[in-house]
Homo-oligomer: A and B are copies of this chain.
Amino acid sequence: MRHATGISDFGIEGLEEILARAIQWKAGAHPKHLVDRILGMVFFNPSLRTRASFEAVMARGGGSAIVLEVGNGVWKLEDRIGAIMDGDRAEHIKEAAPVLARYVDLLAVRTFAAGASDEEDHADPVMNGFRNYSTVPTLSMESAREHPCQGLADLMTARETFGSTQGLPVTLTWAPHIKPLPKAVPNSFLLTAAAAGCEVRVAHPEGFELQGEVLAQAQALAKASGGSVSLTKDQGEAAAGSRVVYAKAWGPSTAGGLKAEAVKDHPDWICSPELMGKAAKDAIFMHCLPVRRNVEVADGVLDGPWSRVVDEAENRFHVQRSLVQWLLEA
């Protein structure tokens, strides 16, 4: 049985297969590949694109989706083994996951990082709880560690624009925000771009390092794909000549000792038309959305010639449809 809670579930070979089918299916009529299939979606956190795109995947494919919001019409869930459950969490994942698996054909979970510790977040306890106790394929709609569907949609957008991503210079740049955000999206862009053979440049201020295990995994994927990963603290240097600029806010490294307020210390890291001017002439701009205009990214970029953010969001639909097919056909 296949799962898709992180890139290691499909690897370089699966990535190429999923992207190829996503691009192929986008060109034609919607296949009815999901007749009689039910996707159960469990949300611990809000969503717009993810929820709407997965519901559309199931409807267009002839199947259906069940949406459950934990703590909002659904009991709060416990994930700690051996817990004495006398708090506000009324149900354990040990029951919730296998029970839901009896009703549906696939189980999708969204659970953001708690943010207290990079190490704890990377252990991904809630997502792994569902994965361990589910008896049907489980997929991530963003967990503490990764957001694999976003990474797939990002790479699909680059492939559509440039044909190949082998050796493509792409920049993942940190962006300012009003609060520290999880690292799942930058992790997944980094890992997926590395697996797709890109020349990945990661730029962020001091103290916003990504987690070491993720960086090591990205280096290993780049080695296998013929790509590369480099780190810098100079945003302009990273952007120079890049054909993709990917802006994303994330919180400080918990190992670095920085406080959450540090996210507001670098307003000059906003992604601006000036920064885009340093990139390649045919460079595109990407962001996973939602984006805080004029905080993370200037209006001039989002409303300018570079932006592919709406196409990128549309591609969530296409890669997810292909990913669901990949999960079910095993």
Interface assignment of A313: CB less than 8 Å from any CB of chain B: yes
A99 x B68 contact (CB < 8 A): no
For chain A, what secondary structure do more than half of its interface residues adopt (helix, strand, loop), or is it mixed?
mixed
Q: What chain B residues lie within 8 Å of A78 (beta carbons)?
A: 293
A95 x B309 contact (CB < 8 A): yes
Interface assignment of A100: CB less than 8 Å from any CB of chain B: yes
Q: What chain B residues lie within 8 Å of A72 (beta carbons)?
A: 72-73
A99 x B292 contact (CB < 8 A): no
CA distance A314 to B99 in the complex (A): 7
B36 x A30 contact (CB < 8 A): yes
B68 x A51 contact (CB < 8 A): yes
CA distance A140 to B77 in the complex (A): 25
Given contacts A36-B60, A295-B84, contact A53 B103 (CB under 8 A): yes
B290 x A95 contact (CB < 8 A): yes
CA distance A85 to B287 in the complex (A): 16
Chain A count of residues within 8 A CB distance of the other chain: 59
B310 x A95 contact (CB < 8 A): yes
CA distance A240 to B169 in the complex (A): 72
Interface assignment of A182: CB less than 8 Å from any CB of chain B: no
Within 8 A of B (CB), among A90-125: 90-92, 94-96, 98-100, 102-104
B86 x A52 contact (CB < 8 A): no
Interface assignment of A46: CB less than 8 Å from any CB of chain B: yes
18 residue pairs from A and B, CB less than 8 Å apart: A38-B60, A48-B99, A51-B66, A52-B66, A52-B68, A53-B103, A56-B104, A75-B290, A84-B294, A86-B295, A91-B289, A91-B291, A95-B289, A95-B290, A96-B290, A99-B289, A99-B310, A102-B314
